[in-house]
């Protein structure tokens, strides 16, 4: 362990700073990254507002360059400080990091591309990695576990809702034929889901008596149906809550393997569970 | 059992393939059927979109013929491979199968019938039979059991909601008389249900101060009422969850009786619970 | 008990038929009453639909006369067959019965009164009495008990929602001043409740950026708030469910006291809990 | 304790009346205060309704003066009767009391200021102090405890909803570019939250097929997501409910310390938990 440290000391330090959050410098780096991600997403939003973009285009562009350069340096640092760079490049966060970095460069190659503007909003996904900082992590794990356990039931539920929507949508299309926005079956299905989920925009609304009668049935159905996912999740929550101490120990180890960048190690881990590298 | 098999071997094989899903061929058949049902429903949807129908009418019609011919052959095979065909014909799925098969034929007899177009959407119901394939089946049974157990309570609940809607709707009709869409009591009741279920289209909305005041009461009421079905279902879920091992054994036997096509046999069943036929 | 029966035998029989549901005649009477109430409410609805009223006014009026005469006779019978008529007259159902009977008579005195039309919709309340018939009665009692137990918590909840609505509504009024329908504070409060309960008509909607930002906060708040009544009711339900056998015995005695017409006697009651009269 | 009472007898009496609710006079004072707060908030509302303000401006102003003078006297009395006035002045309720008192005075200095009108609505917050009167206090404590316990989980939940909204909003902005109200990313995010929370105003609604398809996904997602806070709160409720007797004793002591005005003392407290002063 000692030899290894000496071998590539600065790389290890860089790894600690960039990938982990249990040293003061690592924490500081994560906070800077957090602020820059939020800033860059706000920049994307402001650029999309015409009045703001017209008046402050230069400032926005400059700030975007600042963010992009920081992200570029960070991406390079991540590549250098890890032992198996290709594994990182093709990992989920590796791709997100690359996509977060390149839009501004690309916009000079493919001029005027609107889509690139918005791709930058995906930078927000990077925030999930910095969640390591947050003390709520244990809570998030519990939520995730409960949702995972009720996954199958929710799938069945959505499946039934889908079939119901298609059949109801088709019937509504026949009843309201071409009136009031029910111009095609897909649009009728769209309306049915809008109604069943109690969203109810009102851009499409039944006009005939029969249509309104069927609509009330769909609504009351939707009202009853909303109880199902709630029931499922509540029961799972209460199970996970009660079984806390014995079953699911929540590990809040924020270290990432210096070799393969895999995360989620046990609190008492000294070797990577994936590649065996010392942590 | 052996003699029977020899007696009408190919019929039994056909039965295995069409009605069951525990042989490779049976599984393959179910997957093909699944794809064709989904395809045929997408065809119905696309036909209802004017732009698509105008440009691709011929392709859509051809594909519809493919589906119809397959369904026709399948229907005949189902009739042949079962011992008591009439029982199948008048069973729930028998009727659904017939209705799924004939619309295209009928459209040549009763020209230009719009309704026939949509009847084809009911083919989706056939998918529930193929659900046998899905591993989520146990989950679905649990959901069904919980909903069944809370059926009576939900009936009481809907009953109260209905009476409330009629009385509230009548009062709103008096307050907003003929203004803002409250043109008749049925329409006012429609509005009340739209509000009580928190759908809220906004095609009808109270304009008077008194009407808006009463509307807020209905909303807060609806907000409280939504808690009731959720509470009911959650409690039932948690009961079924906890009592899992002792009470409700979920049987996932996918076999159907070769004689009377009844399903839902116990996992360890060797004879049909309905007609005694060997499975 | 025997002497009493002899004393006023036909009155007792009448009482049995009208007030109770445990004899065949009593059941039949309740079913007739049920059908007539539903019919009369449908009549009220149809009269409010202009096209129907114009074409079928005579038929509707005739049927309304049939219902009114039946209700009149029934009201008189109820008065005769009970020992303390005044107690009945001023009881809840006594008033409902009277109000259900007289609108048609009054409409000849106060010509053209629209309100009388709608008063007839209150006849629906009479249906709750006939609920005695329904086997779901035990379920309804459980629901009622759970709601009653969570009454205090729901009151606190509505109280907080109200204060929140007033303060939020006032702020929105200041932000959106006179724009987009926020013309006064009461109307802004109306909008806040429409949003908080996730109804969302869209007849009033924020137009300014700040207003829309505040609106999203109200929505997410409303989203979280909806969890509270659900949680309250669910916990009460599960408590009542579990404590079923020991605590709350549900009495389904459908008898009414022949003297004071009070209901809800214990299943094994032989005397009225209110006046001591033999049942 | 006796000497102290003699020392400043009338101050103590005043303190009892104003700050506490366990003497008849104290209760009476709280009720008067309650009525005046409600009255003053109704005045604010009525002033904002143009028709009412034009016709009854003088009456409204007079009543506002009555409320303001009462609040002024009350504020002075609160200052006199407490031992450490500055501590009160800078306490939460001290600031609320001041803000509740001065708007009318200020409106003569800063003429025509609309904002002052609305600031008066914050007087409603004062009502929470008088809640001491209400017997539901124990229930409120339970609700608060349950919400507090699920605070972390709800924070995680809102965090995820926010990130989802930004990403979904950006995608919708790209799809529906500038059509149908999706004029900027912030506005698209506003729409996403309106949809995700099932509010659904309909002032902005997708028009393209792809947009409507994505919208249905957001809706079904929102439908599932609504289950999460409900599940969290329900589980916390049931935990607090069951642990009632042993864990959380609810103290309903309505006394406030005569020296530092801190509240929430134990039921059996004889000294202030904060400054040690005798209660």
Quick one: three-class SS letters along chain D? CHHHHHHCHHHHHHHHHHHCCCCHHHHHHHHHHHHHHHHHHHHHHHHHCHHHHHHHHHHHHHHHHHHHHHHHHHHHHHHHHCCCHHHHHCCHHHHHHHHHHCHHHHHHHCCCCHHHHHHHHHHHHHHHHHHHHCCCHHHHHHHHHHHHHCHHHHHHHHHHHHHHHHHHHHHHHHHCCCCCCCCCHHHHHHHHHHHHCCCCCCCCCCCCHHHHHHHHHHHHHHHHHCHHHHHHHHHHHHHHHHCCCCCCCCCCCCCCCCCCCCCCCCCCCCECCCCCCEC
pLDDT at residue number B59:
92
Q: At what angle do helices A209-225 and B185-196 cross, to 10 degrees?
A: 20
- The shortest CB-CB distance from A161 to any of D220, D222, D234 is to D220
Distance from CA of D252 to the nearest CA of A (A): 30
The mean of the pLDDT values for chain D is 77
Q: Is the pLDDT of residue B91 over 70?
A: yes
Alpha carbons B133 and B129: distance in angstroms, whole number: 9
When scoring B143, B233, B234 by the number of chain D Cβ atoms within 10 A, the one with the most, hence best to mutate, is B234
- How far off is chain A from B38, nearest CA to CA, in Å? 11
Which chain A residues are within 8 Å of B45, Cβ to Cβ?
184-186, 189
D interface with B, Cβ–Cβ < 8 A, is 198-202, 230, 234
Q: State the pLDDT at residue A225.
A: 77
Optimal mutation site among D180, D185, D196, D204, interface A, most CBs of chain A within 10 A: D185
Which residues of D fall within a CB distance of 8 Å from B198? 198
More confident residue, D251 or D147: D147
Contact list in C for residue B217 (CB cut-off 8 A) is: none
Whether the pLDDT of residue B192 is over 80: the answer is yes
D257 pLDDT more than 50: yes
For residue A238, the chain B residues in CB contact (below 8 A) are: 238
Q: How many CB pairs under 8 A join A and C?
A: 9
CB A230 within 8 A of CB D230: yes
Return the residue of D nearest to B227 by Cα. Answer: D230
pLDDT at residue number B110: 74
pLDDT over 90 percentage in chain B? 6
CA distance A215 to A195: 8
Instruction: Give the nearest chain A residue to C238 (CA atoms).
Output: A235
Residue C143 has pLDDT above 50, yes or no: yes
Q: Report which of residues A186 and C276 the model is more confident about.
A: A186
**Minimal Cα–Cα distance from C233 to chain B, Å?**
6
d(CA C167, CA D40) in angstroms, rounded, equals 13
Q: Give the per-residue SS3 of chain C.
A: CHHHHHHCHHHHHHHHHHHCCCCHHHHHHHHHHHHHHHHHHHHHHHHHCHHHHHHHHHHHHHHHHHHHHHHHHHHHHHHHHCCCHHHHHCCHHHHHHHHHHCHHHHHHHCCCCHHHHHHHHHHHHHHHHHHHHCCCHHHHHHHHHHHHHCHHHHHHHHHHHHHHHHHHHHHHHHHCCCCCCCCCHHHHHHHHHHHHCCCCCCCCCCCCHHHHHHHHHHHHHHHHHCHHHHHHHHHHHHHHHHCCCCCCCCCCCCCCCCCCCCCCCCCCCCECCCCCCEC
* Interface contact B201-D202, CB threshold 8 A: yes
Query: What pLDDT score does A246 carry?
Result: 38
Choose the mutation target among B164, B223, B226 for the interface with C, i.e. most C CBs under 10 Å.
B223
**Taking CB atoms and an 8 Å limit, are B202 and D198 in contact across chains?**
no
Task: State the average pLDDT for chain C.
Answer: 77
Q: Between A189, A201, A226, which is nearest D205 by CB? A: A201
Q: How many CB atoms lie within 10 A of CB A248?
A: 13
For B203, the closest chain D residue by CA position comes to D202
10-residue stretch averages of pLDDT, chain A, 279 residues long = 55 78 81 88 85 88 91 90 85 85 82 68 76 60 77 78 87 78 86 88 85 89 79 79 46 57 57 61
Whether residue D225 contacts residue D138, with contact meaning beta carbons closer than 8 Å, is answered with no
pLDDT at residue D118 above 80?
Answer: no
**Rounded distance, CA B224 to CA B160, Å?**
13
| C-alpha closest to that of A232 among B136, C244, D150 | B136
Distance from CA of D201 to the nearest CA of B (A): 8
**Quick check: A202 and C198 CB within 8 A?**
no
A155 contacts B197? CB cut-off 8 A: no
For position B73, what pLDDT does the model report? 92
Structure confidence at residue C247 as a pLDDT band (50, 70, 90): very low
CB contact under 8 A, B226 and A222: no
Nearest to A205 by CA among B204, D205, D179: B204
Q: For the segment B24-66, what is each residue's pLDDT rounded down to a tens digit?
A: 888 888 888 888 988 988 888 888 888 888 899 899 889 989 9
Q: pLDDT confidence of B70, banded at 50, 70, 90? A: very high
* B234, pLDDT greater than 70: yes
Identify the structural domains of chain A with CATH numbers, from first to last.
Answer: 2-136 (1.20.120), 140-248 (1.10.287.70)
**SS3 of residue B239 by DSSP:** helix
Among C200, C202, C234, beta carbon nearest to A234 = C234
- Statement: residue B249 has pLDDT above 60: no
Name which of C213, C214, C131, C123 is nearest C168 in CA terms: C214
Determine the residue among B200, B219, B233, B239 to mutate to test chain D binding: the one whose Cβ has the most chain D Cβ atoms within 10 Å: B200
- Would the pLDDT of D42 be above 80? yes
pLDDT band with cut points at 50, 70 and 90 for residue C81: confident
- Residue B231: partners with Cβ closer than 8 Å, 6 or more residues away: C146, C230, C233, C234, C236, C237
| Residue A265 DSSP SS3 | coil
Say whether A201 and C198 touch across the interface (CB within 8 A).
no
Q: Residue B263 in contact with residue B20, Cβ under 8 Å?
A: no
Give residue-wise pLDDT tens across range D61-111. Answer: 899 899 999 999 999 988 888 888 888 888 888 888 888 888 888 888 776
pTM: 0.80
Q: Residues C162-191: what's their mean pLDDT? A: 84
Chain B to chain D Cβ contacts (< 8 Å): 9
* Residue C244 reports pLDDT greater than 50: no
Cβ neighbours of D199 in B, within 8 Å:
200
* pLDDT higher than 50, residue C73: yes
pLDDT for the residue B250: 44
Nearest to B216 among C50, C193, C230 (CB): C193
What pLDDT does D246 receive?
38
pLDDT confidence of C141, banded at 50, 70, 90? confident
Q: What residues of C are in contact with residue A201 (Cβ under 8 Å)?
A: 202
Alpha-carbon distance of B14 to B30, in angstroms, equals: 13
Per-residue confidence band for B69, with pLDDT thresholds at 50, 70 and 90: very high
**Is the Cβ pair C201, A201 closer than 8 Å?**
no
pLDDT of residue C184: 85
Residue A115: list chain D partners with CB under 8 A: 174
Question: Which of A168-182, B132-146, B176-190, D209-223: highest mean pLDDT?
Answer: D209-223
Which of C228, C230, C233, C242 should we substitute to test contact with A (largest number of A Cβ atoms within 10 Å)? C230
- For residue B230, which residues of chain D lie inside 8 Å, CB to CB? 230
The nearest alpha carbon in chain D to B226 belongs to D230
* pLDDT tens digits along D137-154: 666 677 778 778 777 777
Q: Do B228 and C186 touch (CB under 8 A)?
A: no
- A130 CA: distance to closest CA in chain C (Å): 24
Q: Which residues of B touch A185 (CB under 8 A)?
A: 44-45, 48-49, 118, 121
Q: Give all chains having 3 or more CB-to-CB distances under 8 Å with chain D.
A: A, B, C
The predicted pLDDT at position C262 comes to: 58
Confidence of residue C86 (pLDDT cuts 50, 70, 90): confident
Residues of B in contact with D234 (CB under 8 A): 234
> Which residues in chain B are contacts of D230 at CB distance < 8 A?
230
Provide the β-strand partners of residue D271.
D278
How confident is residue D247, by pLDDT bands cut at 50, 70 and 90? Answer: very low
% of chain C at pLDDT higher than 70: 74
Spatial CA neighbour of D215 closest among D200, D232, D231: D200
Question: Which residue in D199, D203, D230 is closest to C227 by CB distance?
Answer: D230
Interface test with A, best of B197, B205, B231 (most A CBs within 10 A): B197
């Amino acid at each position: 362990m000692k030899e290894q440290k000496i071998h590539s000391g600065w790389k290890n330090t860089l790894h600690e700073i960039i990938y982990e959050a249990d040293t003061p410098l690592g924490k500081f780096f994560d906070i800077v990254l957090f602020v820059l991600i939020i800033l860059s997403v706000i920049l994307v939003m402001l650029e999309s507002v015409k009045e703001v973009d017209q008046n402050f285009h230069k400032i926005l562009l400059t700030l975007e360059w600042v963010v992009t350069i920081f992200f570029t340096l960070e991406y390079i640092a991540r590549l250098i400080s890890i032992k198996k760079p290709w594994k990182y490049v093709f990992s989920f966060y590796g791709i997100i990091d690359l996509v977060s970095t390149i839009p501004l460069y690309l916009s000079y190659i493919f001029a005027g591309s609107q889509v690139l503007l918005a791709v930058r909003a995906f930078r927000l996904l990077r925030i999930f990695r910095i969640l390591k900082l947050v003390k709520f992590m244990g809570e998030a794990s519990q939520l995730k576990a409960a949702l995972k356990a009720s996954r199958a039931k929710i799938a069945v539920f959505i499946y039934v809702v889908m079939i119901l929507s298609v059949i109801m949508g088709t019937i509504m299309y026949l009843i309201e034929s071409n009136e009031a926005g029910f111009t095609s079956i897909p649009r009728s299905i769209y309306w049915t889901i809008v109604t069943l989920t109690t969203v109810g925009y009102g851009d499409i609304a039944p006009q005939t008596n029969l249509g309104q009668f069927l609509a009330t049935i769909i609504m009351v159905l939707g009202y009853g149906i909303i109880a199902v996912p709630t029931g499922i999740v509540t029961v799972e929550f209460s199970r996970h809550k009660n079984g806390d101490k014995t079953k699911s120990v929540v590990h809040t180890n924020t270290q990432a393997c210096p070799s393969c960048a895999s995360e989620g190690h046990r609190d008492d881990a000294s070797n990577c569970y994936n590649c065996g590298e010392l942590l």
